[in-house]
Amino acid sequence: MRRYFFLLGCFAILPSISLDAQRGQPLQPLPDRGAPTSPKTSAFPPGPAPQNVRVLPGSPLLHALAWDPLPNVAGYRVFKSIKGQWYALTQQITLAQTWTDTAVVQPGTAYRISAVYSDGRLGDTDFIYANPPQPQQPTGFTVQQVGPGSVNLTWQPVAYAAFYRIFGTGQPTDGTVVNGTQTGFTKLADGNYTWMVSADYGGSYGPGPSASITLKSSGRYRVVANGFRVVISTDDDHIYPERLIAGRDGRQDEIYAGFAMFHVTRPQGQILDQDLRQTKVHGEMGKDPTRVKAGTATFDGGLQTADVFPPVLDPSVTVGVPDDQSFPFLVWDGTLTDGQDAVVIYPTMWESDGKDGIYTTWFLAERAELPKVWSEATVQQALQSKSISLTTPPSWTYFIATPMVLNDHPIGSVYDSVAPNLKTQAGKRLPRRAIILTREMIESALASGNGIVTIQLIDQGMHGNAANAHYTLYVQVQRVP
């Protein structure tokens, strides 16, 4: 006796994907088990057929079929129809009342559950799976370099997936099995890599999204000072009006930015290259035509509170081509290699009074102090960071013993604990501020950000503890194509 059951689908209908259970290829007209077999026609009268054939809940892609047990049955056999041909899924009689088909089932697939009796009778029930759910592909598949020759692969989970398989460069034909939604590879050589991730439902898997990456152990980068903002101008004119009379000073602030740069080996910290790069003086240019006109204090410039330079809506971004004169200013341009070197940059801004002796001495002091600074814990921690930021080592930088009445003044300096001379500013220190860069750090940071570092330079003023000068400097790390 033959019965028919139709199941229209107890799960959401998903896009149809035809896959082979073993290789993720289009399903071929080959048997899942053994050779093509037509259910035998018994010479005996038909026996009772299986009842209540169904798909078990919670197995949308394993397709676990079940049926009610029959009395006095010798066992069962399961067949599957593919393109009009019946295939035996069980080569031997089984006493189990379930069968799991690990292949992806196409809409309209027919199964036959055959009850076999010891006296030769057969009872067949055909089950039509009208709308079986189809596989889903993982979403959000990304590959990111996380270190020298190292990458991380991540993706979003897929409902009911037992695990996942990674195909592609360096992987076996049937993929690498991964439990979870991320994996990684290390010790990869420079070159192009492509991987694909597939959800595996316990033996059934197919195509999925792919992601590619080009690994480089070296790259060229540049550091650009894009511009600055005057939050609070200095009180230079108020303290030293005689400079205006003598013609040594412009009205309000005249500033320049200076950057000490050290290219060093890793992990030793030996200096490969060093440089001190300085912009032109920016401010009122009436008394000095070599200056860059900047600010709104007079028709000829002069930096005062709320001014920005370049005079654009957002001075934090690069506007124009960086050069070695003004903003955007080229601080550093060079090549970094994974695990081999780093760049240490000290960004500063100075109020100009026409003598840069303190500025030059500061650079020489930083040069001498670099080995000690390199070994400090804050610097070593910064070298392991995946983001670009300002590092403030606990050690102090150059101690300013020279009176600054006729010397340039570093914005962002503070008084030492000793009794300072508030008029001359002797006895001040400039806290060390460093931008520490490695190739690994830059690539990780630029994968999700713009590489801009915002530096707040707040001065402890000439009249005591009040902060009477505050400049914001914007520095950006960029790839060079």
Q: What is the pLDDT of residues 216-261, one digit of tens each?
A: 889 999 999 999 999 999 876 544 554 554 445 678 899 999 999 9
CATH class of the region 142-215: mainly beta
Read off the pLDDT of each residue in 69-78 and give the average, rounded to a whole number: 95
Read off the tokens for 167. 């195909």
Q: Is the pLDDT of residue 123 over 50?
A: yes
Residue 40: band (very low, low, confident or very high) from pLDDT cuts 50, 70, 90? low
Tokens representing residue 44 in the block: 């005996």
pLDDT grade for 22, boundaries at 50, 70 and 90:
very low
pLDDT at 462: 52
Average of per-residue pLDDT across 457-464:
68
Question: Rounded mean pLDDT of 405-410?
Answer: 74
Consecutive H or E run containing 181: none
Bridge partners, 44 (sequence order): none
pLDDT of residue 422: 46
Kindly state the average pLDDT of the residues 205-210: 90
Res 84: pLDDT: 82
Phi, psi of 363 (to 5 degrees): -60, -45
Q: Do residues 218 and 337 touch, judged by C-beta distance below 8 A?
A: yes
Residues 6+ apart with CB under 8 A from 30: none
Closest C-alpha among 82, 102, 105 to residue 29? 82
How far apart are alpha carbons 273 and 278 in whole angstroms? 17
**Confidence grade of residue 61 (pLDDT, cut at 50, 70, 90):** low
Which residues in the chain are classed under CATH 2.60.40.10?
Answer: 1-134, 142-215
Taking only the tens place, the pLDDT of each residue in 433-455 is: 999 999 989 988 998 899 999 99
Burial of residue 48, with CB atoms counted within 10 A of its CB: 0-12 exposed, 13-18 middle, 19 or more buried: middle
Calculate Rg over the CA atoms of the chain: 37
More confident residue, 134 or 127: 127
| Residue written as token pair 């930083």 | 366
- The candidate with the shortest Cα–Cα distance to 67, out of 48, 80, 53, 83, is 53
Rounded Cα–Cα distance for residues 256 and 228 (Å): 11
The pLDDT-based confidence of 134 (bands split at 50, 70, 90) is confident
Extract the tokens encoding 131: 């709308």
Predicted local confidence at residue 25, as pLDDT: 33
- Between strands 292-293 and 282-283, the pairing is parallel
Asked if 456 and 230 count as a contact pair (C-beta separation under 8 A), the reply is: no
Give all strands (DSSP E) within 266-314, no chain letters: 271-278, 282-283, 292-293, 308-309
Looking at residue 41, its pLDDT comes to 57
In angstroms, the CA 369 to CA 395 distance is 10
Which phi and psi (to 5°) does residue 364 adopt?
-65, -35
Residue 24 pLDDT: 35
DSSP state of 355: -
* Averaged pLDDT score across all residues of the chain: 83
- pLDDT band (50, 70, 90) for residue 394: confident
Half-sphere exposure of residue 480: CA atoms within 13 angstroms, side-chain side? 16
Q: Going by DSSP bridges, is the β-strand pair 282-283/191-200 parallel, antiparallel, or unpaired? A: unpaired
DSSP classification of residue 50: P
pLDDT surpasses 60 at 310:
yes
pLDDT of residue 47 exceeding 60, the answer is yes
pLDDT for 339 beyond 50 = yes
Alpha carbon 422 to chain centroid distance?
A: 48
Mean local confidence (pLDDT), 338-367:
89
pTM here is 0.61
Long-range contacts of 72-75 (CB under 8 A, 24+ apart): 72/117, 72/118, 73/47, 73/48, 73/115, 73/116, 73/117, 74/116, 74/117, 74/118, 75/116
Q: Which of 33-47, 201-215, 275-289, 355-369 has the lowest mean pLDDT?
A: 33-47
| Per-residue confidence band for 103, with pLDDT thresholds at 50, 70 and 90 | confident
CB 94 within 8 Å of CB 49: no
CB within 8 Å of 449: residues ≥ 6 apart: 387, 388
> What confidence score (pLDDT) does residue 453 get?
97
- Reported as a pLDDT band with limits 50, 70 and 90, residue 357 is confident
What are 183's strand-pairing partners? Answer: 153
pLDDT for position 355 = 78
The architecture CATH gives domain 1-134? Sandwich (2.60)
The CA distance from 130 to 399, in Å, is 83
